[in-house]
Amino acid sequence: MGGLLTVKGPFDPVNPSHATFDLFVQAQSCKDVKHHFAELCKQLDINPKDFRSFYGKLKERLNYWKAKALWAKLDKRASHADYQQGKACTKNKCLVLGAGPCGLRVAIELSLLGAQVVVLEKREAFTRNNVLHLWPYTICDLRALGAKKFYGKFCTGSLDHISIRQLQLILLKVSLLLGVEVHTGVEFQGLIEPSGDSGWTANLQPRSHPASAFQFDVFISAGGGRFVPDGFKHKELRGKLAIGITANFINRNTAEEAQVAEISGVARIYNQKFFQDLLAQTGIDLENIVYYKDDTHYFVMTAKKKSLLKKGVIKQDYSNADELLAPVNVDREALHSYAHDAAHFSTGGKLPDLQFARSQSGQPDVAMFDFTCMHRAENASFVKERRGKKLLMALVGDCLVEPFWPLGTGIARGFLAAFDTAWMVRSWGMGIPHLKVLAERESVYQLLSQTTPENTSKNYAAYSIDPKTRYQRVNLSAIHSNQVRNVRDLSHSC
């Protein structure tokens, strides 16, 4: 037990590690989470790098009723047969690129399988206010990981959404408790092939970062939209021009604000009159709009180009979406007014004093995006071999399938892919031949883009990393081993 404990005893309120645990649980920034976690490890004299026994020691030494309530949840998850008591992947070392929600979610599963897991994140802070729609299964999943203990507002009332940053904070805390190593402020710049005695490593910025010495046999890319590591190809699905606008306003949590109804998705086809009135009264022409009340008042809408030009938001018309939405072609002030007026109208003017929240750069948190092209990876997995050392690679989250934000598919499909990927790593860890592992992963991946809350299993409590628990009709052998020979690269040269 650490020498810093002044008084021993499970219910002693002055036990410093109890206070530190509370601070860790309540921390509202990535920096604070890491700080309180490091402090907790120091107080309890546990080495966070000792991933194999970290969680066990933590449970043993932090004899605090609040922590115990959390252990009960995590233990329940960890006891699932799929993890084979945390022994399914004890020989595997996994590098996860990106501490977005999907990178962290897959990291948790890999650590439950017993693998050593290192997550790399280039940003130092979690600052994204934008709010993600949650399908019912993701709410159950997050609850089971103790989300409500970390974020009291989680799942209160009709909430079926969460801000990106809150979700990252919850998953970061769970990851750390389970022994995942999370490094922020470090950028992945590529893979380094094995040489001499060394296995696969990563080229990082800063170069001298300790994680550059980490050798791994599994590499998961969860780097977000359009991040495509070598070996993967993306398909572009081009639709008709779609311009999205996101806007976050300060939520002062007043009684007045609490009464304003959320808009879970008003699409033009369902409410023609609303959009006609909006156009007539404001000149704003939208395809759809969503409003969620979370840490901020968050709006996401798809706007018609003609009205953006008319309102002076876009200065000049171009057929190319990149030129059209290039910063030089956007009048920020006009964009702010457009987003403000759309938010004001759609909430019946009931949100008093709509003031923009600030983005990380201190600017009003308003953004305009092009949704015209959606990217989707052709394959979800890949195996490389150099000098007799195999590397299993996989994509999860937005870099696997880019979501259509207004439909809120990002987290739902992102977590499904995180579970499917963990299932694949489990097979890899159990020594199943790599072509079979790849074939099974690609068989499951075929289903992902068609998933909806309706066509996936409703038995949320039974969801596990096993695809059969989640997809209603899944044929794990839909793709045969001989069809995935192109998703491996076994060249033995260096």
Catalog residues that contact ligand FAD under the rule CB under 6 A.
97-103, 120-123, 130, 132-133, 164, 187-188, 222-225, 227, 246, 300, 397-398, 403, 405, 408, 410-411, 414
Minimum CB–partner distance for residue 188 and ligand FAD (Å): 4
Question: Amino acid identity, residue 131?
Answer: V
Partners of residue 486 on adjacent β-strands: none
Minimum CB–partner distance for residue 461 and ligand FAD (Å): 24
Report phi then psi at 308, rounded to 5.
-70, -35
Q: How far is CA 438 from CA 45, 182, 378, 472, in A?
A: 41, 27, 13, 21
339 touches 289 (CB < 8 A): no
Minimum CB–partner distance for residue 122 and ligand FAD (Å): 4
Which residue's CB is nearer to ligand FAD, number 164 or number 465?
164
Report phi then psi at 161, rounded to 5.
-155, 165
Minimum CB–partner distance for residue 171 and ligand FAD (Å): 9
Minimum CB–partner distance for residue 190 and ligand FAD (Å): 9
Which residue's CB is nearer to ligand FAD, number 54 or number 338?
338
Which residue's CB is nearer to ligand FAD, number 60 or number 124?
124
Which residue's CB is nearer to ligand FAD, number 246 or number 347?
246
Minimum CB–partner distance for residue 34 and ligand FAD (Å): 15
Q: Can you tell me whether residue 428 is helix, strand or coil?
A: helix
Q: How far is CA 454 from CA 142, 470, 472, in A?
A: 20, 12, 10
Which residue's CB is nearer to ligand FAD, number 58 or number 204?
204
Distance from the Cα of residue 53 to its chain's centroid: 26
Q: Can you tell me whether residue 248 is helix, strand or coil?
A: strand
Minimum CB–partner distance for residue 36 and ligand FAD (Å): 21
CA angle 154, 156, 158 (to 5 degrees): 115
Minimum CB–partner distance for residue 418 and ligand FAD (Å): 9
Closest CA to 178 of 117, 261, 262, 267: 117
Percentage helix, strand, coil for the chain under 3-state DSSP, each rounded to 5: 40, 20, 40
444 touches 471 (CB < 8 A): yes
Which residue's CB is nearer to ligand FAD, number 32 or number 385?
32
Closest CA to 451 of 399, 395, 484, 403: 403
Which residue's CB is nearer to ligand FAD, number 114 or number 229?
229
Cβ within 8 Å of residue 318, ≥6 positions away: 324, 329
Partners of residue 238 on adjacent β-strands: 373
